[in-house]
Amino acid sequence: MKDSRGYYYHPFPQNKAVRMYVREAGGDFEFRMWSRDDDKLWQEHGWVPYSAILQAQEMYTGKGFDPRRAYDLDLARCLIEEMRQDRSK
């Protein structure tokens, strides 16, 4: 999906108020979360490279926020491919 901020997916499908935006930068995928219910989230948290997400996954203890669920590399790849196709039109 796409809007004025860019390409995104819903990291928590049951909650359409949260979006995860993706982009490609320097050969890495980057993610940035937005929430309709939290105006500050977009402003206070910048783009996060996937390499940093992998580090967070290693530290995940099974409690709280699960980075494996929110940051989906396969979906990011699909969205980046969609973006490339849109640009080539």
pLDDT by residue for the chain (89 residues), tens digit each? 999 999 999 999 899 999 999 999 988 999 999 999 998 999 999 999 999 998 888 887 777 777 777 899 999 999 999 999 988 88
In a domain, 88, yes or no: no
Q: How many domains does the chain have?
A: 1
Long-range CB contact pairs, 40-49, < 8 A, 24+: 42/5, 47/23, 49/25
Handedness of CA 45, 84, 52, 12 (dihedral sign): positive
In a domain, 55, yes or no: yes
In a domain, 89, yes or no: no
In a domain, 9, yes or no: yes
pTM above 0.95, yes or no: no
In a domain, 41, yes or no: yes
Tokens matching residue 53: 């997400």
- The whole domain housing 64 covers 2-83
Give the gyration radius of the chain's Cα atoms.
Answer: 13
